[in-house]
Amino acid sequence: MSDVTVPPTDSRAKRNVTVLVLAQAILGAQMPMIFTIGGLAGQSLASNACFATLPISLIVLGSMLSATPVSALMQRYGRRAGFFVGAGAGALGGMVGAYGLYIASFPIFLLGSLITGTYMSAQGFYRFAAADTASDAFRPKAISYVMAGGLLSAVIGPQLVKATSDAFVVPFLGAYAAVVAINVIGALLFLFLDIPRPPRPSEDAPKGRTRWELLTTPRIAVAVICGTVSYALMNLVMTSTPLAVVGCGFETGDAANVVTAHVLAMFAPSFFTGHLIARFGVEKIMALGLMILAGAGVVGLSGVELEQFFAALVLLGLGWNFGFIGATSMLAGAHEPHERGRMQGLNDLIVFGGVTFASLASGGLMNCSGGSAQQGWTAVNLAMAPFLVLAGGALIWLVLRPRDTAEA
């Protein structure tokens, strides 16, 4: 009887998961919006087509730079404070981006993107917040359910792009106005979040491992590598997709539909990813994710018909889901509570550092590695291969190495 009793702490965890799922759905809608139109807006403002995806790169750079400060803020003042800061940055970034579009200033538009990165960083901690009050048994499911909130954002975001992009004379201005509204309204959700503020450590409290000791722990190292590769490759391909779809003769609406299918594939499996991890083990699910990402690259190389874009991006989203949620679950169980702020901030610094590099490379590969959109799309998909080999090799090494019972 006691084996099936839900631990008392999970009632609080489930309430927090509900809030975070809604936040992922409402506030998270701005990310597919911006990733759909950011490159196209950048292309209209930049003097050099090679810099078209720079706005998206600046978002990821902002996320990388703010990951450690946001994590430290949450460690000291609690998750709610950090999430309010993130929503405020999202609203401010949307306003600055809208102003940049209004006066046709690429530098100001880029500044708005950089500020928006702080929201992206805060959103990245939703998954860790889901685990804070969850039992060991509920933790993978809590993380997975929160990621599943992206299903609604996958529908809301691109549909808002279609409804608002041409609402004003200046293209895409309406979409950025909608981003501001999303942040203002969505921030109210965090009033219902119930995650205790971390206690101030006493003088004799354990200090935890140093950053270097954490990173050299095998399970943490592999989790960081696989999480970084999964997210970076997803971003590499997704950033170029709207440019590739439009460049191959399709409409902006087609690009929005492809992004919608991609984001749905990113989050739809989250309803059962946690169950799969609990049943088959996190290593197998991460390996499956990496194989699906490789399949996305193969489909991307097979042609540039609209159906092939849809298939490649659906596989890309599915592979990201298994790879990234698996890595998050592995990481969440590999460090102590008093190491949370240090390790989670460090993890997201590394992850978004890799994503920044991928995003910067995406525009160059897409627009400056050949004479046509098709050649650029081929270069983007070929670039996935060495990083998949790196992550796959790291995971195989972890599985084959003798397990130290004292290892975290």
- At 343-383, the pLDDT tens digits run 877 888 888 888 888 878 887 888 777 678 889 999 999 99
Query: What is the average pLDDT value for the chain, to the nearest integer?
Result: 86
Answer whether residue 406 shows pLDDT above 50.
no
This prediction has a pTM of 0.74
The average pLDDT across 51-77 equals: 86
Residues 6+ apart with CB under 8 A from 319: 230, 234, 289, 290, 291, 292, 293, 294, 295, 296
pLDDT in tens, 66-113: 988 998 898 888 899 999 999 999 999 999 999 999 999 999 999 999
The pLDDT value given to residue 215: 87
pLDDT in tens, 290-300: 999 999 999 99
Answer whether residue 128 shows pLDDT above 90.
no
For residue 117, name the pLDDT band (cuts at 50, 70, 90): very high
The pLDDT value given to residue 200: 67
For residue 6, name the pLDDT band (cuts at 50, 70, 90): very low
Burial class (CB in 10 A: 0-12, 13-18, 19+), 184: middle
The average pLDDT across 54-67 equals: 87
**CA 11 → CA 5, 16, 156, distances in Å?**
12, 9, 29
Alpha-carbon dihedral sign for residues 210, 212, 216, 219: positive
Residue 368: HSE in the Cβ half-sphere, 13 Å Cα cutoff: 11
Residues 6+ apart with CB under 8 A from 405: none
Answer whether residue 129 shows pLDDT above 50.
yes
The average pLDDT across 255-270 equals: 85
Rounded distance, CA 261 to CA 311, Å? 9
The pLDDT value given to residue 203: 63
| Structural domains of the chain in order of their starting residue, each with its CATH number | 8-194+208-400 (1.20.1250.20)
**CA 258 → CA 53, 220, 324, 374, distances in Å?**
18, 34, 21, 17
Closest CA to 407 of 139, 144, 223: 223
For residue 9, name the pLDDT band (cuts at 50, 70, 90): low
Rounded distance, CA 186 to CA 79, Å? 15
